[in-house]
Amino acid sequence: MIIAVMSFRLYAPWVHSLKEKRMIVRSMIAKLQNRFHVSAAEIEEQDTHQIIVIGVAAIVPHQAMADSLMDEISRFVEENTEAEILDEAREIR
């Protein structure tokens, strides 16, 4: 059993309230969970309006599948948000 873990740090300069941010975060998390059947949550910077940090985790049977899934998720996040991706971290455990 292999655990694939990712985190994305996004910058959304047009967000001016936590309510706006929450709408963006909930939408992205729901899309990730529905499309890839992974666990996803906002993991840091909850009180900062313009910075969004989302963590994603999945259990996969082998290394190749972990790499493939993380590539797909990365592409998906890039294509489905207007926010700038400041950082992406990957880890396989």
Strand order of the β-sheet with 39-44 is 39-44, 51-60, 2-11, 84-92
Q: pLDDT digit string (tens) for 28-74?
A: 999 999 999 999 999 998 888 899 999 999 999 999 999 999 999 99
In the chain, where are the structural domains located? 2-92
Q: pLDDT digit string (tens) for 4-37?
A: 999 999 999 999 999 999 999 999 999 999 999 9
Dig out the tokens for 67 from the structure: 């790499």
Instruction: Report the pLDDT value the prediction gives residue 2, as an integer from 0 to 100.
Output: 93
Which residues is 40 bridged to in the sheet?
Answer: 56
- Look at the pTM and tell me if it is higher than 0.85: yes
Tell me which CATH code domain 2-92 carries. Answer: 3.30.70.1120
